[in-house]
Amino acid sequence: MKPSGAHPEKALSAAAVRGAAKPGRYADGNGLYLVVDPSGAKRWVLRVVAQGRRRDIGLGGVKVVSLADARELATGYRRIARDGGDPLAARRRAQATVPTFEAAATAVHSEQAAGWRNAKHAAQWLSTLREYAFPVIGQRRVDQIDTPDLLKVLSPVWLTKPETARRVKQRLSTVFDWAKAAGHRSGENPVDGVAKGLPKQYDRAAHMTALPYADVPAFVARLRGGDSGELVRLAFEFLILTVTRTGELLGARWPEISLDAAVWTIPADRMKATREHRVPLAPRCLDVLRRVRELAPDSELVFPGRDMSKQLSNMVFLMTLRRMGVDCTAHGFRSSFRDWASERTNFPNEVCEMALAHTIKSKVEAAYRRGDLFEKRRQLMVSWADFLTPAASNVVSLRA
């Protein structure tokens, strides 16, 4: 395709826009041009006559503004010119209202935080962008940011802090989706293209190292007699006994627990699947809870930190594992439990999955269970607790 000369050219296609390489103007019709600069950059320009004067209006680069978007913008500005207005002035007014990335992210946070699972997540959502994105693109208008800019945000942490990088990427995407919906930018979400410019991360599951299930009883025995604080040891044992997630345990409150019914009901807003989850408590769990109540009788939190009004840090279990010289993660005990349940018991798959609060993906299984299989799960969790303490001689006193 050659640049336009004195004679009109046929309308452009998306393929023609991608293939245009020679510097010059390429006409789409009705005054809309694709301009290829000597540097190779491509942008859209609309030429109109308004109020008796010729106006050239820049509509943005092709990486941000697609052919379809450029045509839509051009139609709007032609209408303004036809009605006697000044489309260039209208363009400038529109640009003046486009927020910076920092302002857009703050707006998203203000509008959506009320619907998020908890206050901690809401605070972290904005703090990650403040730390990693704002210094790079915070003062740029959202309609001027493209994929290369986002690579500058993500590249420094993509391999060194993979989980943080994934969260930043997800939050960047949310902001740009909002910006498009609010009319502040057009074209594709620039986050969609960053994967092609970033190296492959290690498999997330590789970091969730688990002990072989046969080694877990010995670990629990060591834990009970270890040198970590008693409340930390009890919390860690309770985590293993209930195979809950760390965040679910650390946020546990006494009103959620019934010692008489031997059940812990975790509310939906603290569950990953945002559904209430009932955890059957084996006798050993009840022993742990009674001792915890003695240690912190005035705290609403089941496992408080040193400040009884605040929960334990999510680092306490990792530090305990390091102190014990054990190469695994707290989350990995869920995998140990799943392997044990599969290899050492005859409980159905859906019972084991429900014990982990996993969503049952099979429609057949989901229809079959029709509930939360609570009593079957109780039998499973009692068996797990018995496996963790195979003989009375292995039990270390809670007060030791």
- Under 8 Å between Cβ of 356 and 381: no
- Residue 273 is predicted with a pLDDT of 74
Question: What's the sign of the alpha-carbon dihedral 78, 80, 84, 85?
Answer: negative
DSSP state of 59: E
Average pLDDT, the chain: 84
pLDDT tens for 42-73 read 889 999 888 888 888 888 788 777 888 889 88
- Residue 96 is predicted with a pLDDT of 63
Main-chain phi, psi angles of 272, to 5 degrees: -60, -40
Query: In this structure, what CATH number is given to the domain that contains residue 74?
Result: 3.30.160.390
Q: Kindly tell me if the per-residue pLDDT of 365 is higher than 70.
A: no
Dmax over CA atoms of the chain, in Å, equals 98
Residues 185 and 296 in one domain: no
Q: What is the average per-residue pLDDT within 295-305?
A: 92
Which residue, of 154, 178, 201, is where some domain finishes? 201
β-pair partners for 27? 33
Residues 184 and 217 in one domain: no
pLDDT tens for 219-249 read 999 999 887 889 999 999 999 999 999 989 9
**What distance in Å separates the CA atoms of residue 380 and residue 341, rounded to the nearest whole number?**
8
Query: In this structure, what CATH number is given to the domain that contains residue 380?
Result: 1.10.443.10
Residues 117 and 31 in one domain: no
Residues 105 and 217 in one domain: no
Residue 91 lies in a domain: yes
Domain of 304, in residue numbers: 213-394
- Residue 50 is predicted with a pLDDT of 82
Both tokens of 387, joined, read: 């496996």
Select from 242, 299, 288 the least CA-distant residue to 265: 242
When mean pLDDT is compared across 76-90, 138-152, 384-398, the lowest value belongs to: 384-398
Cβ neighbours of residue 170 closer than 8 Å, sequence gap 6 or more: none
* Cα-based torsion angle of the residue sequence 243, 245, 246, 251 in order, rounded to the nearest 10 degrees: -110
- Residue 392 is predicted with a pLDDT of 46
Residue 34 lies in a domain: yes
How many residues in the chain?
400
- Residue 152 is predicted with a pLDDT of 92
Buried residues in 211-247 as b, exposed as e (16+ CB within 10 A): bebeebbebbbebbebebeebbbbbbbbbbbbbbbbb
β-pair partners for 26? 34
Cβ neighbours of residue 389 closer than 8 Å, sequence gap 6 or more: 217, 220, 284, 395
Which residue, of 170, 201, 232, is where some domain finishes? 201
Residues 376 and 231 in one domain: yes
- Residue 144 is predicted with a pLDDT of 86
Residue 1 lies in a domain: no
Residues 75 and 169 in one domain: no
Both tokens of 294, joined, read: 């003695």
Residues 247 and 365 in one domain: yes
pLDDT tens for 240-274 read 999 999 989 999 999 999 999 999 999 988 888 77
**What distance in Å separates the CA atoms of residue 131 and residue 137, rounded to the nearest whole number?**
11
Residues 368 and 350 in one domain: yes
Residue 399 lies in a domain: no
Phi-psi category of residue 39: left, alpha or beta, with phi > 0 → left and psi -120 to 50 → alpha: alpha
Residue 256 lies in a domain: yes
In the structure, how many helices (H) and strands (E) does the chain have? Answer: 17, 7
DSSP string, 250-311: HT-BGGGEETTTTEEEE-GGGSTTSS-EEEE--HHHHHHHHHHHHHSTT-SBSSB-SSTTSB
Residues 137 and 234 in one domain: no
Q: How many CA within 13 A on the CB side of residue 144?
A: 13
Residue 363 lies in a domain: yes
pLDDT bucket at 391, cuts 50 / 70 / 90: low
Residues 162 and 189 in one domain: yes
- Residue 6 is predicted with a pLDDT of 40
**What distance in Å separates the CA atoms of residue 49 and residue 77, rounded to the nearest whole number?**
10
Share of the chain above pLDDT 70, in %: 88
How many of the other CB atoms lie within 10 Å of CB of 37?
Answer: 11
Query: Rounded to whole angstroms, what are the CA distances from 204 to 163, 200, 208?
Result: 8, 11, 7
Q: What is the average per-residue pLDDT within 13-20?
A: 89
Residues 334 and 320 in one domain: yes
**Domain count for the chain:** 3
Residue 5 lies in a domain: no
- Residue 205 is predicted with a pLDDT of 44
Task: Tell me the residue ranges of DSSP E strands in the chain.
Answer: 24-29, 32-36, 42-50, 53-61, 257-258, 263-266, 277-280
pLDDT bucket at 380, cuts 50 / 70 / 90: very high
Which residue, of 155, 170, 201, is where some domain finishes? 201
Q: What is the average per-residue pLDDT within 378-399?
A: 73
Residues 87 and 111 in one domain: no
Select from 291, 213, 245, 221 the least CA-distant residue to 117: 245
Residue 210 identity (one-letter amino acid): A
Query: In this structure, what CATH number is given to the domain that contains residue 123?
Result: 1.10.150.130
DSSP state of 358: -
Main-chain phi, psi angles of 160, to 5 degrees: -80, -30
Residue 283 lies in a domain: yes
Identify the three-state secondary structure at position 116.
Answer: coil
β-pair partners for 339? none
